[in-house]
Amino acid sequence: MKKMMVMLLSVIMITSIFMVGCTSKESSGGGEGSSDAGYSGKTYKWVAQSPWPSGTTLHWMAEEIARDITAATGGRLEVEMHPAGSIVAAFDILDAVDTGTLDAIHSWEGYWVGQIQAAGFFASMPLGMNEQQYMTWVLQDEGTELWKETFADYNVEVLPAGAYTPEVFYHSTVPIQNLDDLKDLRVRGSAFWGEIQSRLGANVINVPGGEVYQALERGMVDAAEFATPTDNWGLGFHEVAEYLVVPGAHQPTSTFSFMVNQQRWDELPDDLKEIVMLVTENMWGKAWSYAAYQDMQTMEKYRELEEQGKLTIIEFDEGDQVRMSEVTNEYYAELAEKDEQFRKVWESQNKFLEKYNYWRDFMSPSY
């Protein structure tokens, strides 16, 4: 009898402990950093858009962010990414996420320099930083802080979201080996690079990206820049321009962001915010390595065309690249005098580069 009582008491104690544990878990929620969605079953859905056409490396980046967030949150936050023009026009996405028409966007800030000149520093600057420099400045120095500050007038949470590979300098119907060859040529250009090309003696024509092929084919322009080797290959520029000019000094890298409407961001529990931030930070390595791998293979295709006599690859004169840098910095200095935020960001990058380049030059081998 005594033995049976002991066994009964043991069962009661175990059952009680189990019930207390379950009750404790189910009542968890609230408090600093907790996730009520994890226990209440609450889910969120964001409708997002990029400014990129489907099938491009650029839209792949946007789609990967959406897929990774959805997967990493176990579907608690679903991001539905749409290509350019699906919901709003490509150049209207910033206003759309600001007003809440879109919950989030994949963005290249070069599109917004008309509203905010300093935005160009968070996209790509001609003769500017490369991807490693940008990544370090953004993730470790004050780049993220200045990025958010530059867009403070918009109702958005700005999340830096990776870098892209260098662009092709020109697809051209005539050889361009130096600055003398560039003078008086009709070239595609816009924003900062358009002005710089004008200062270098070129005749700049603003051609939309979707019309570059036709502009080269019909002789509207002699040379055009657009994107990376891979994306340019897909658009067939090599079919109508027999010269490929490198390196992409005008755009040594491009950086991107994932912007979220502030109200949509604020309603997320802390753990989901942390996952979104980790996904976007991860894109600094994921996006660049993916694009680089694609470009490696594409350059092999260009090399095969050159071996077949169908294309000529030209390396632009190194000394004239330095001269372009000098002209570019003169132009930036003029802009800095007129725009306080532009000056602040430009000075931050220059201060960072002075230390970064000192370290890199000593520590990078010459072989």
How many other CB atoms sit within 10 Å of the CB of residue 154? 19
Mean pLDDT of 223-234: 94
pLDDT digits (tens, 9 = 90+) for 164-214: 999 999 999 999 999 999 999 999 988 899 999 999 999 999 888 779 999
Q: Is the peptide bond before 229 cis (omega within 30 degrees of 0)?
A: no
Q: Over 80: is that where the pLDDT of 8 sits?
A: no
Q: Over 90: is that where the pLDDT of 40 sits?
A: no
| Strands lying side by side in the sheet with 254-261 | 77-82, 44-49, 104-107, 254-261, 156-164
pLDDT digits (tens, 9 = 90+) for 257-284: 999 999 999 999 999 999 999 999 999 9
> Mean pLDDT over all residues of the chain?
90
Q: Cα dist. 176→107, 245, 334 in Å? A: 32, 7, 28
State whether CATH 3.40.190.10 applies to domain 170-251+308-339. Answer: yes
Whether 50 contacts 82, CB under 8 Å: yes
**pLDDT reported for residue 157:** 98
- Outline which parts of the chain fall under CATH 3.40.190.10: 170-251+308-339
Radius of gyration of the chain (CA): 26
Give 305: exposed, middle or buried? Use CB within 10 Å, 0-12, 13-18, 19+: middle
Nearest of 364, 17, 308 to residue 25 by alpha carbon:
17
Mean pLDDT of 293-306: 98
pLDDT band at 19 (very low <50, low <70, confident <90, very high): very low
Task: Report the CATH fold assignment for 43-165+253-293.
Answer: D-Maltodextrin-Binding Protein; domain 2 (3.40.190)
pLDDT digits (tens, 9 = 90+) for 55-114: 888 999 999 999 999 999 999 999 999 999 999 999 999 999 999 999 999 999 999 999
- Outline which parts of the chain fall under CATH 3.40.190.170: 43-165+253-293
pLDDT digits (tens, 9 = 90+) for 110-168: 999 999 999 999 999 999 999 999 999 999 999 999 999 999 999 999 999 999 999 99
Task: Please tell me whether residue 361 adopts helix, strand or coil conformation.
Answer: helix
DSSP-derived secondary structure for 286-351:
HHHHHHHHHHHHHHHHHHHHHHTTS-EEEEPPHHHHHHHHHHHHHHHHHHHHH-HHHHHHHHHHHH
Strand 203-205 to 186-188 pairing: parallel
